[in-house]
Amino acid sequence: MSDSIELFDTTLRDGTQGEGVNLSVQDKLLIVRRLDEFGIDIIEGGWPGSNPRDEEFFQRVKELKLYHSKICAFGSTARSLNNIESDPNLTSILKAETEVICIFGKTWRLHSQRGLGFSDEENEKLIFKSVEFMKKNGKRVIYDAEHFFDGYKDDKLFAVKMLKAAESAGADVIVLCDTNGGSLPEEVFTIVTELKKHITAPLGIHTHNDSELAVANSLAAIRAGAVHVQGTINGVGERCGNANLCSIIPNIILKLNLPTKQYVSLIHMTSLSNFVFELMNLSPFTRAAFVGKSAFAHKGGIHVSAVLKDSSMYEHIKPESVGNKQRVLVSDLSGQSNIRYKAKEFGIDLSDNKEISKKLVNYIKSLEYDGFQFDGAEASFELLLRSELNEFTPFFSVLDSKVNVFYDDKGTSYSEAVLKISVDGEIEHTASDGDGPVNALDKAIRKALTRFYPEIALVKLIDYKVRVLDEKEGTAAKVRVMIQSSDGDETWSTVGVSENIIEASFQALIDSMNYKLFKFQIKKERSNV
């Protein structure tokens, strides 16, 4: 286990087989750059013989100047023993002109016999000749033993014999694949330990997450002597996904204290995770280990009090080591420590004002009992805090509002919002239509305020969520609306609660506009100093 660990990323190949994952050639090239900067050893770009997009990728990736990573083309062993040198799959891999190639072959008799119709000897020869052909063409060959663990548990002699065929043909790395994702860590550890007695070539591990054990199985293999690990950023992949490199890599470096083949920029792990999520148009998994937004978030008052004294009491590593950050949430579980911590984030020192902290704790608990939630609406909480400290007063007041929704028998719908607001005693009366009542309100309030505050024109509503709080009350239930807004530079979240979904939405919208104006005012005051 003293050898350095080689990191192999298959986000661009195996990862794109995940449901809802789709990458353009340009997306893949952008990810290659980030993986190279991060310190990944090998980037598997795709299967060049399978589709035009991957063929274009392998042509265009040659134009990139990579500093750390090698690009790898992927494919299977030859289809027949009769035409190895002209096999379309193998020749298409060669056309990709990558220094490293990865080919997979069958190591479970079920697949070789039933799937391909090969005898044991034919399958063994196919693996040998395919690897040998690639070695003769000057390639570094990584052999993926597909379904290895299932095959080994079914017939270990057959499985090992197939590995030996790849090894004797010159495979540089033999990767043991838990393709169905059904193995347990102790099984993986035992099998890899036993296998090292028979195989002298470097061993790798490739696992899937069907039993929620892909990361654990990968680490078990490494502890048993594997020196090459495959996975994807964020664990994306077919079915339940691949092993998550965002968890594997920090565990290798920070927990197993093992060296990687080259320097890994671990402090950029979180930003890399978010970057890939963004390009894949997927929502980040907030509770992901190491890189998730909630990975170092603290809510309970006792926890927060302890973290403020020594973060190691409730954090297994320093968040900054993986590019993440510590967060403290405010809720009905909060204590005064939570309030003081959040106030400090806003630039407010409450260390000598315990009375305000205590008052705010009780007030927040009362609001959350009524359905408000501030751990996802920090802008609303900051306004509440500054209001209690007499640092904030609303920039406008709504004197009257009306929302009309029209339907006709032709299926046409139409929404209109009418508002009357007051700014410093001056009244603005306006109306706006929209795709729905909330959209109409959003447009109307921005339209009404823009004359007084031109900066409001930049604000856009980018996310909108509704939560029914008392399901048993049916349509009379109280709802919580949380919205996320942005001005192009910053993003903030606000909350509203009411039995009326339009009113709850309006509360959140009003907070959103006030927050923007408050922040703009502070920025303006600082620039004038």
Token output for 340: 């003081």
What is the percent of the chain with per-residue pLDDT over 90, rounded to a whole number?
58
Model confidence band, residue 324 (pLDDT cutoffs 50, 70, 90) = confident
The pLDDT of residue 342 is: 60
Q: What is the pLDDT of residue 1?
A: 47
The CA distance from 309 to 340, in Å, is: 13
Residue 290: its pLDDT value, please?
A: 96
Question: Quick check: 180 pLDDT over 90?
Answer: yes
pLDDT in tens, 64-102: 999 999 999 999 999 888 889 999 999 999 999 999 999
Q: How far apart are CA 5 and CA 117, in angstroms?
A: 37
Residue 310: partners with Cβ closer than 8 Å, 6 or more residues away: none
Q: Among candidates 252, 271, 250, 518, which has minimal Cα distance to 396? A: 518
Q: Which residues of 446-458 are buried (b: 16+ CB within 10 A; e: fewer)?
A: bbbbbeebebbee
Is 0.85 topped by the overall pTM? no
DSSP structure class, residue 435: S
Q: What residues form DSSP beta bridges with 342?
A: none
Write the pLDDT tens digit of every residue in 183-228.
Answer: 999 999 999 999 999 999 999 999 999 999 999 999 999 999 999 9
> Which residue(s) pair with 419 in the sheet?
401, 430
Closest CA to 177 of 138, 200, 158, 150: 150
Q: DSSP assignment, residue 260?
A: B
pLDDT interval class at 388 (50, 70, 90):
confident
Q: pLDDT digits over 327-367, tens only?
A: 665 544 455 566 666 666 666 666 666 676 666 666 666 66
Q: How far is Cα 87 from Cα 76, in angstroms, rounded to an integer?
A: 10
- Check residue 242 and report its DSSP letter: B
Residue 412, H or E segment: none
Q: What is the DSSP letter of 292?
A: S
The pLDDT tens digits for 273-294 are: 988 988 888 888 889 999 998 8
Nearest by Cα to 327 from 258, 266, 269, 374: 374
Q: How far is CA 223 from CA 149, 152, 226, 266, in A?
A: 17, 19, 7, 21
CA angle 329, 330, 334 (to 5 degrees): 110
* 37-63 average pLDDT score: 92
Cα 209 to Cα 237: distance, rounded to the nearest angstrom? 9
H helical segments located in 68-108: 88-95
Give 399-453 pLDDT, tens digit per residue.
999 998 888 777 778 899 999 999 999 999 999 998 888 889 999 999 999 999 9
Judge whether residue 174 has pLDDT over 60. yes
**Tokens representing residue 498 in the block:** 């009411």
Among 264, 288, 215, smallest CA distance to 69 is for 264
**Main-chain dihedrals φ then ψ at residue 499, nearest 5 degrees:** -70, -20
Are 316 and 324 a contacting pair, CB within 8 Å? no
CA angle in degrees (0–180, nearest 5) for 334-337-343: 95
pLDDT tens figures, 97-137:
999 999 999 998 887 767 677 888 999 999 999 999 999 99
CB burial of residue 477 (10 Å; 0-12, 13-18, 19+): middle
pLDDT of residue 370: 62
Domains of the chain in sequence order: 6-264 (3.20.20.70), 397-527 (3.30.160.270)
Cβ atoms 219, 244 nearer than 8 A: no
The CA radius of gyration of the chain, in Å to the nearest whole number, is: 29
DSSP string for residues in 382-410: HHHHHHHTT----S-EEEEEEEEEEE-TT
Per-residue model confidence as pLDDT tens digits over 459-503: 988 888 887 876 566 666 788 888 888 988 888 889 888 888 899
| Residues 6+ away with beta carbon under 8 Å from 487 | 455, 458, 459, 460, 516
Say how far apart CA 182 and CA 188 lie, in whole Å.
10
What's the token pair of residue 267? 């402090």
Query: Helix 120-136 crosses helix 156-168 at what angle (to 10 degrees)?
Result: 20
Task: Indicate the SS3 state at residue 524.
Answer: helix
Strands 426-434 and 460-468: unpaired
Tell me: pLDDT of 529 over 70.
no
